[in-house]
């Protein structure tokens, strides 16, 4: 047997003691990894929402607020539709401080024989759009033809398949990257296709509360404010100049989400801190108890010639292995729990939730492992220091 | 090689009693000569074990020096002192002194593994046969009796062919037959040149001794042999 194998023997041949220590360190890793993934996912979701909204102001008909909740539509993917006259777009464009303005047209499909599934369908003007188009271009660079649709990452339809919307078969030409928001559950298409679908819905007797031609309506206007202009002031001007509309400032929507996120982050951080303090204290106690229980064993090692530094090194190696094993177990368990329940977490928190990239997760796992191992080694350092300073003769004498 | 104590003493602090300390070993000179078995007799608590631990480099004396040949043991850094203890001094401590997570053979070979020295497998096997524990090589210490554990500790100390053997009550857990085996083994080691110190309260050990010392309340006196 090589002396380097001794720490492994000590751990494997005392499985109960080793398992208890591994469980404690696993708890540390689980709390920090699981908690951090949740917080990072929420932050990614918020960033994604900011990027995807892209607009400073959304102009919707006054009736929209009573018909649907725009925030819920964007954050949680609830379906809804509302319409206003297309002439509102020209008035928005004519308002001072507006740099870009692009219309969108909404339609909600049904859980009925005419439709594959109930889903939010969003029509964009590919010529002027500055919110969805850059996102679509990440996965589909060609112009959308009539009936072509692009699906969000949560829509259960692959490229090449078709979705039936009010009896119209629409081929899926692209699938968008996940944003962690309600936008992932929607379907996107050009304005012409959406008007075709509106007409199809009306033909099937679905009352969309549109009095005239479907070509004359839009659902919302997404507005980008010129640099240097106040978003609040432009929103006020729009409210004055564009009658029968409401303006929604996306900053307010994001601020609300950010506030919720800050609250959740604080809670999760406090919980992680509490678990760490508790587990670290327990680890120190357990290592101290273990050192006391093993003091004679350590004295015997000194009797046969192990030096103080050799003894401390052996204890360090044992705690390193415990830290690594516990850290890996905790990270694995944390990953299984967080990823298995991500949909539930997203629903319960009602906030945009986007799992961080593999690189970020790997970095987080690495840091968690490093932290857990360092804590395990730190917890054992006190016991190792005390043991190495103790005269083995005294220990042997006390043990008799 | 001789191991020599010059003016060593050991004082322990304690909170009770008239004084706040007591002298476990009073200032004394003492030598364990190479090639001889030195028996140290005395009642429990007389300071025998304290003296042995100081000789082994395990317990720093309050005063005095210990020399192994010309080397002042306590002037050395811990690492160097530990290596000397590993390679040149065989210590048989009192009571249970094995590592439970290792097998009997692993326990016996552990000192050789510490500093990557040559394997002592052959010597170990011979000593195990002599002390009748060869059949226990792969057993775990928890499966052994007190007497068997004692013999494991003795073989572990002898297998490295140390220059000095310091045995603390090595026959405490043994029956008469095994006591004779162990004492003969220590006698053989001395015959091969080792300086052997045998700390015991059993008078039977005297018949294997070249020198007999007696300790009483920390004071050492040499017993004249007839």
A124 three-state secondary structure: strand
pLDDT at B19: 65
Domains of chain B: residue spans and CATH: 3-223 (3.40.50.300)
Alpha-carbon distance of A123 to A106, in angstroms, equals 6
Residue A51, both tokens: 């990027």
Same domain as A202, residue A269: no
**Sheet strand arrangement including B21-32:** B21-32, B3-13, B63-68, B71-72
Q: Do B97 and A307 touch (CB under 8 A)?
A: no
The domain of A284 spans 3-48+257-399
Q: What phi and psi values does residue B221 have, to the nearest 5 degrees?
A: -135, 145
For residue A180, is pLDDT > 70? yes
Which residues touch A355 (CB under 8 Å, ≥6 apart)?
A: A37, A41, A44, A178, A180, A339, A342, A361
Which residues touch A228 (CB under 8 Å, ≥6 apart)?
A: none
Which residue is associated with the tokens 């080792």? B194
Of B96, B97, B101, the CB nearest to A13: B101
Alpha-carbon distance of A215 to B20, in angstroms, equals 104
Choosing from A243, A274, A289, the residue where a domain stops is A243
Mean pLDDT score, A34-58: 80
Same domain as A102, residue A166: yes
Of A3, A10, A308, the CB nearest to B114: A3
pLDDT at B17: 60
pLDDT band at A324 (very low <50, low <70, confident <90, very high): very high
pLDDT digits (tens, 9 = 90+) for A69-97: 676 676 666 778 889 999 999 999 999 99
A308 and B78 in contact (C-beta within 8 Å)? yes
Of A13, A306, A391, the CB nearest to B114: A306
For residue A327, is pLDDT > 90? yes
CB atoms within 10 A of CB A293: 11
Beta bridge partners of B216: B219
pLDDT band at A68 (very low <50, low <70, confident <90, very high): low
Check residues B118 and A8 and name the one with the higher pLDDT.
A8
pLDDT digits (tens, 9 = 90+) for B176-219: 888 888 888 899 999 999 999 999 877 777 888 899 999 998 89
pLDDT at A177: 80
Same domain as A73, residue A217: yes
Same domain as A67, residue A43: no
Alpha-carbon distance of A11 to A25, in angstroms, equals 15
For residue A65, is pLDDT > 70? no
- For B167, the closest chain A residue by CA position comes to A303
pLDDT at A350: 67
Choosing from A243, A268, A289, the residue where a domain stops is A243
Using a CB-CB distance cutoff of 8 angstroms, which residues of chain B are in contact with residue A395? none
pLDDT band at A148 (very low <50, low <70, confident <90, very high): very high
Same domain as A261, residue A226: no
Mean pLDDT score, A281-308: 84
pLDDT band at A398 (very low <50, low <70, confident <90, very high): low
Using a CB-CB distance cutoff of 8 angstroms, which residues of chain B are in contact with residue A394? 59
pLDDT digits (tens, 9 = 90+) for A235-250: 999 988 898 898 888 8
Check residues A183 and A333 and name the one with the higher pLDDT.
A333
Mean pLDDT score of chain A: 84
Check residues B181 and A63 and name the one with the higher pLDDT.
B181
For residue A53, is it within any domain?
Answer: no
B196 and B185 in contact (C-beta within 8 Å)? no
pLDDT at B33: 92
pLDDT at A97: 93
Using a CB-CB distance cutoff of 8 angstroms, which residues of chain B are in contact with residue A1? 102, 106, 109-110, 113
Q: In chain A, how many domains are there? A: 2
Q: What phi and psi values does residue A246 have, to the nearest 5 degrees?
A: -120, 145
For residue A123, is pLDDT > 90? yes
Q: Do A296 and B59 touch (CB under 8 A)?
A: no
Residue A324, both tokens: 């690594």
Q: Which among A201, A195, A242 is positioned nearest to A216, based on CA atoms? A: A195
Beta bridge partners of A220: A104
A34 three-state secondary structure: helix
Same domain as A183, residue A289: no
Of B60, B85, B101, the CB nearest to A9: B101
B104 and B154 in contact (C-beta within 8 Å)? no
Same domain as A124, residue A40: no
pLDDT at A118: 84
B38 and B32 in contact (C-beta within 8 Å)? yes
pLDDT at B197: 95
Same domain as A263, residue A232: no
**β-bridge pairing A245-249 and B89-92:** unpaired
Chain A residues whose C-beta sits inside 8 Å of any chain B C-beta? 1-3, 6, 9-10, 13-14, 296-297, 299-310, 391-394, 396-397, 399-400
For residue A400, is pLDDT > 70? no
Same domain as A138, residue A31: no
- Interface-testing mutation among A295, A305, A399, with chain B (most B C-beta atoms within 10 A): A305
pLDDT at B15: 66
CB atoms within 10 A of CB A324: 17
Shortest distance between the Cα of B225 and any Cα of chain A, in A, equals 30
Alpha-carbon distance of B120 to B124, in angstroms, equals 6
Q: What phi and psi values does residue B67 have, to the nearest 5 degrees?
A: -115, 130
Reported as type and span, the H/E element at residue B5 is strand B3-13
For residue A80, is it within any domain?
Answer: yes
Half-sphere exposure of B75 (CA within 13 A, CB side): 8
Mean pLDDT score, A192-219: 87
Residue A18, both tokens: 């080793």
Q: Which among A8, A52, A39 is positioned nearest to A258, based on CA atoms? A: A39
Same domain as A205, residue A68: yes
pLDDT at B20: 77
Same domain as A269, residue A231: no
Check residues B189 and A267 and name the one with the higher pLDDT.
B189
Low-confidence ranges of chain B (pLDDT < 70): 15-19, 117-119, 225-226
For residue A342, is pLDDT > 70? yes
Q: Do B82 and A14 touch (CB under 8 A)?
A: no
């Amino acid at each position: 047997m090589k002396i380097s194998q001794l720490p492994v023997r000590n751990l494997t041949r005392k499985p109960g003691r080793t398992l208890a220590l591994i469980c404690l360190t696993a708890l540390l890793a689980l709390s920090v990894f699981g908690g951090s993934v949740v917080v990072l996912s929420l932050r990614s979701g918020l960033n994604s929402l900011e990027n995807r909204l892209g607009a400073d102001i959304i102009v919707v008909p006054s009736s929209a607020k009573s018909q649907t909740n725009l925030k819920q539509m964007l954050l949680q993917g609830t379906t809804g539709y509302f319409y206003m006259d297309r002439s509102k777009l020209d008035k928005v464009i004519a308002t001072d401080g507006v740099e870009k303005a692009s219309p969108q047209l909404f339609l909600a499909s049904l859980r009925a024989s005419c439709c594959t599934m109930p889903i939010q369908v969003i029509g964009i003007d590919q010529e002027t759009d500055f919110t969805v188009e850059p996102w679509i271009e990440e996965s589909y660079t060609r112009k959308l033809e009539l009936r072509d649709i692009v699906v969000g990452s949560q829509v259960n339809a692959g490229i090449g398949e078709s979705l039936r919307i009010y009896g119209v078969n629409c081929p899926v030409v692209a699938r968008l990257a996940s944003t962690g928001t309600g936008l992932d559950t929607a379907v996107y298409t050009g304005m012409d296709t959406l008007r075709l679908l509106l007409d199809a819905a009306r033909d099937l007797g679905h009352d969309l509360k549109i009095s005239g031609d479907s070509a004359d309506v839009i659902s919302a206007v997404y507005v980008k404010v010129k640099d240097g202009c106040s978003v609040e002031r432009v929103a006020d001007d729009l409210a004055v100049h564009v009658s029968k509309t409401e303006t929604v400032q996306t900053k307010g929507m994001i601020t609300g989400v950010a506030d919720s996120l800050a609250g959740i982050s604080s809670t999760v951080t406090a919980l992680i801190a509490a678990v760490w303090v508790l587990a670290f204290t327990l680890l120190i106690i357990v290592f101290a108890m273990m050192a006391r229980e093993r003091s004679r064993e350590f004295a015997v090692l000194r009797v046969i010639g192990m030096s103080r530094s050799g003894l401390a090194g052996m204890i360090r190696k044992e705690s390193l292995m415990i830290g690594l094993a516990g850290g890996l177990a905790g990270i694995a368990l944390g990953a299984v729990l967080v990823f298995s329940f991500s949909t539930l977490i997203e629903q319960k928190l009602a906030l945009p939730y986007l799992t961080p990239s593999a690189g970020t997760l790997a970095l987080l796992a690495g840091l968690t492992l490093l932290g857990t191992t360092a804590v395990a080694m730190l917890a054992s350092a006190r016991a190792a220091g005390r043991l190495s300073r103790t005269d083995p003769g005294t220990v042997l004498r006390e043990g008799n | 090689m001789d191991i020599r104590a010059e003016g060593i003493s050991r004082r322990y602090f304690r909170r009770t009693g008239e004084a706040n300390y007591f002298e476990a070993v009073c200032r004394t000179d003492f030598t364990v000569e190479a090639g001889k078995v030195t028996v140290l007799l005395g009642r429990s608590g007389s300071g025998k074990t304290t003296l042995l631990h100081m000789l082994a480099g395990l317990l720093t004396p309050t005063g005095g020096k210990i020399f192994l040949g010309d080397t002042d043991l306590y002037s050395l850094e811990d690492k160097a002192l530990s290596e000397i203890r590993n390679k040149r001094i065989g210590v048989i401590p009192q009571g249970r002194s094995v590592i439970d997570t290792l097998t009997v053979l692993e326990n016996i070979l552990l000192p050789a593994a510490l500093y990557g020295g040559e394997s002592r497998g052959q010597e170990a096997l011979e000593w195990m046969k002599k002390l009748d524990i060869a059949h226990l090589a792969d057993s775990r210490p928890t499966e052994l009796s007190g007497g068997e554990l004692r013999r494991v500790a003795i073989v572990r100390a002898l297998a490295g062919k140390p220059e000095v053997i310091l045995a603390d009550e090595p026959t405490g857990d043994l029956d008469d037959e095994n006591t004779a085996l162990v004492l003969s083994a220590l006698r053989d080691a001395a015959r091969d040149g080792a300086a052997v110190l045998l700390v015991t309260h059993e008078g039977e050990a005297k018949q294997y001794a070249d020198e007999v010392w007696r300790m009483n309340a920390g004071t050492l006196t040499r017993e004249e042999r007839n």
